[in-house]
Amino acid sequence: MSGQDALFWIFALVVCTSAAAVVISQSVVRMAFWLIISLGSTAGLFFLLRADFVATAQLLVYVGGTLVLLIFGVMLTASGPFLSMKTSVGEATLAAGIAFLLLALILGSACSVDWAAVSAAAAKPQEFNPAQPTRPGFNSVDEGSTTHTLGFAFLGIRTDKDLGRKPTDAMGGQGALSTGYLLPFEIASVHLLVVLIGAAYLARAKRRLVSPKAP
Amino acid sequence: MNPILAASSIREYLAHSAAFQTLTGWLGDPGRSAAIGAALIHAVLILSFFGVAPLVFIWLERKVAGRIQDRLGPTRVGGRFGWLQTLADGIKLIQKEDLCPTAADQWLFRISPYLVFVASFAAFIALPFSNGWVVQNIEVGLFFILAVMSLEVIGVILAGYSSGSKWALFGGMREAAQVVSYEIPMAICTIIPVVAAGSLNLVDIGRMQSGWFWNWLVFNNPFTFLAFFVYFTVATASVKRAPFDLAEAESELVAGFHTEYSGIRWSYFFMAEYGSMFAVSGIAVLLFLGGWYTGLSLVESVGLDGTILGNLIGCAVFIAKSCGLVFVQIWVRWTLPRLRIDQVMMTCLKYLLPISCFLFLGATIWPLALYSATGQTSIWQPLGDRVWPPAVESPATTVEQPATSATAKTALLGLEGAQ
């Protein structure tokens, strides 16, 4: 077993056991703690896949988001200290049933992939890609190499698809150059801006200046 | 040059070192043994730095506080300057009883100091100490450091909540409100030099600032100059230092979130705090103040940049610069009065956030305006030209490509600013 495999099993075990602990725990704050551990280990799995940007976003958005959820959703709305949750047998059975159905779906799709072909394609030597720097001492396996490609794709340049293709090929019926993720990126950012403005509007101080009445 | 002398990282050094390879020959692949050896050496170096730096900073804090308050500070333990005072305190703290209040959520109460400690320590994984001297050179290093340092607050909040004490809960809540607000201007302020540099890799950003001090990103344009001061203010707040230390306001909340802690668990919070102070100062040095370069083009002009000797000098320069900023944080703490919680929030949301947004906008418009006026996007030498070694090299094997790919390649390289 290589070091990568060993790390994968460690992280995968931590993800699974802490996810189980989220379900088993009674206290809401302990649940949040286990969720943080589980999501943090998922970030570790992403780091193992060299997806450093996704892993860091996972740490910032999901783990940090859990924190905000914990504070503003749970602590400030709890009626007593150390709020705990008791589930009835019916609820637990229903939840377990749905969870096992989801597990079956994921296992089914994972088993249906021809992994030999995937690893053969991954082992193929890569062509030159200017979005992936090859400076001396740069080790894409360790340092993550997705960021440049991702950044270009957000700007609308798919270096993994379009490199070396003539723009005129589009007229020749081979399909247009890829647009990358520029449009979804813009839509998401405008959407977030709208949400921010809406939140600021809803949370504004609803006070009116009352003019002092003359006696 | 000799590959051992030219090695810019411990892993390269071990991979070329004959003595290490004969020692670890049983592991087989030289690359793997070098990776494992380098990982162990990095871990030991960073752990000892993380342990020793707080000892020095706490001693410095006492001395500086004493001098500012017209006292002497510690003078007895360890000779003339009392430099062993922190070690004596540490031994005392280990001996103290490890208390846990009956009203507390015992398990969370015991585990939360470690969360704070780990989050603060994880920031050092991606913090380069010199040209290539970094535990893990992550491509999104800056983003990673900001992400893990924002996790430190989880431990603080859990500590405050699980203590079963109202003082601690108030401290934790204040910390949550403060950190969630101050994260926004902090992220925007760190983005401003990133916009100028075009990279999130802290090693690359450091390399761009080689040469004379006007190459430092703080002097790159007026907006980065102002952003440095805003960043430093926000960073001071984000590591809950005075005048923003509302989470542990002694005058109102006994000791805030760590009211109920004692002994070694209490000291973990402080090790994390001083470690974070160094980490945010290190980010400021890397992003604005030239990283590990002296600013006088000494190491670079004799061609030592990137070698072992040059890196040793660079490491000393980086630590000295960062300790200088830590000293400023201590100085500010013992000079300014503590703000009220509403003043803390107002400073962030009404002043620092709009200022940083304005600076960000200015930093994006600046290169365009400069280009239309003078024909180049930076006042001095273009940043991409200064990177050593070149970020993008031509491919080792010539891949057969269509004729137009050459222009496409040049266009893409132009975006990286490397040619």
Q: Which residues have a Cβ under 8 Å from the Cβ of A159 and sit 6 or more positions away?
A: A129, A130, A131, A149, A152, A153, B412
Q: Say yes or no for a CB contact (<8 Å) between B139 and A148.
A: yes
What is the spatial distance between Cα B383 and Cα B370, in angstroms, rounded to a whole number?
Answer: 15
Assess whether pLDDT exceeds 90 at residue A17. yes
Put simply, whether A161 touches B (Cβ < 8 Å) is no
> At residue A121, what is the residue type?
A
**Chain B residues with CB inside 8 Å of A70's CB?**
157
Q: Do A135 and B200 touch (CB under 8 A)?
A: no
Rounded Cα distance, B236 and B326, in Å: 10
A-B interface: how many C-beta pairs under 8 angstroms?
A: 121
pLDDT of residue A165: 61
Chain-chain contact of A60 with B153 (C-beta, under 8 angstroms) = no
Show residues of chain B in contact with A134, CB under 8 Å.
392-393, 395-396
Contact B405 A82 (CB under 8 A): no
User: Would the CB atoms of B412 and A63 count as touching at under 8 Å?
Assistant: no
Q: Which string of b and e fits B209-230 if b means at least 16 CB within 10 Å?
A: bbbbeebbbbbbbebbbbbbeb
For residue range A52-67, list pLDDT tens digits in order.
Answer: 888 888 888 888 777 7
Site from A58, A60, A69 to mutate, B interface, most B CB atoms within 10 angstroms: A60
Contact criterion met (CB below 8 Å) for B223 and B369: no
Q: Chain A window 60-99: which residues touch B at a Cβ cutoff of 8 Å?
A: 60, 63-64, 67-68, 70-71, 75, 81-82
Interface of B with A in 386-405 (CB under 8 A): 389-393, 395-396, 399, 401-402, 404-405
- pLDDT given for residue A98 in this prediction: 93
Q: Taking chain B (419 residues) in consecutive chunks of 10 residues, what is each chunk's mean pLDDT?
A: 58 72 69 76 86 87 88 80 83 84 83 89 88 79 88 85 82 82 88 86 83 82 90 88 75 76 85 90 90 80 73 88 91 86 85 91 88 80 60 45 46 42
Mutate to test the interface with A, among B139, B182, B393 (most CBs of A within 10 A): B139
Residue contact A128–B108, C-beta within 8 A: no
Q: Report d(CA B280, CA B110) in Å as an integer.
A: 27
Cα B115 to Cα B119: distance, rounded to the nearest angstrom: 6
Task: Categorize the per-residue pLDDT at A1 as very low, low, confident or very high, splitting at 50, 70 and 90.
Answer: low
B179 to B260, B344, B348: CA distances (angstroms): 22, 11, 10
At B104 the three-state DSSP class reads: coil
Q: At A1, is the secondary structure helix, strand, or coil?
A: coil
Q: Which of residues 187-206 of B touch A (CB under 8 A)?
A: 200
- Tell me the chain B residues in contact with residue A144 when contact means C-beta distances shorter than 8 Å: 138-140
Contact with chain B for residue A134, Cβ under 8 A? yes
Average pLDDT rounded to a whole number, residues A178-201: 85
Read off the pTM: 0.81
Specify whether the CB–CB gap between B300 and B381 falls below 8 A: no
- Give B44-73 pLDDT, tens digit per residue: 888 888 888 888 888 888 888 888 888 888
**B319-347 in b/e burial notation, b at 16+ Cβ within 10 A?**
bebbbebbeebbebbeeeebbebeebbeb
pLDDT of residue A104: 94
Q: In angstroms, what is the C-alpha Rg of chain B?
A: 24
Tell me: pLDDT of A15 over 90: yes
**Pairwise CA distance, residues B193 & B287, whole Å:** 6
In the predicted structure, residue A78 carries a pLDDT above the cut 50: yes
Q: Give me the residue from B8, B108, B138 closest to A137, CB to CB.
A: B8
CB contacts under 8 A, B 122-181 vs A, are: 132, 136-140, 143-144, 146-148, 150-151, 153-154, 157-158, 161-162, 164, 173, 176, 180
> Between the CA atoms of B201, B203, B204 and B206, what dihedral angle is there, to the nearest 10 degrees?
120
Render B151-208 in DSSP notation, one character per residue.
THHHHHHHHHHHTT-HHHHHHHHHHHHHHHHHHHHHHHHHHHHHHHHT---HHHHHHT
- pLDDT of A210: 67
Q: Which two tokens stand for residue B295?
A: 């600013």
Distance CA A132, CA A159 (A): 9
CB neighbour class for A2 (10 Å; exposed up to 12, middle 13-18, buried from 19): exposed
Cβ-defined contact of B157 to A71 (cutoff 8 Å): yes
Helix (H, G, I), strand (E, B) or coil at B133: strand
* Spatial separation of the C-alpha atoms in residues B163 and B165, rounded to whole Å: 5
Mean pLDDT of A155-178: 62
Residue pLDDT, tens place only, B321-334: 999 999 999 998 88
Query: B63 and B334 in contact (C-beta within 8 Å)?
Result: no
Look-up of token digits 């200064």 = B386
Q: What burial letters (b/e) apply to A56-92, b meaning 16+ CB within 10 Å?
A: bbbbbebbbebbeebbeeebeeeeeebeeeeeeeeee
Which residues sit opposite A84 in a β-bridge?
A27
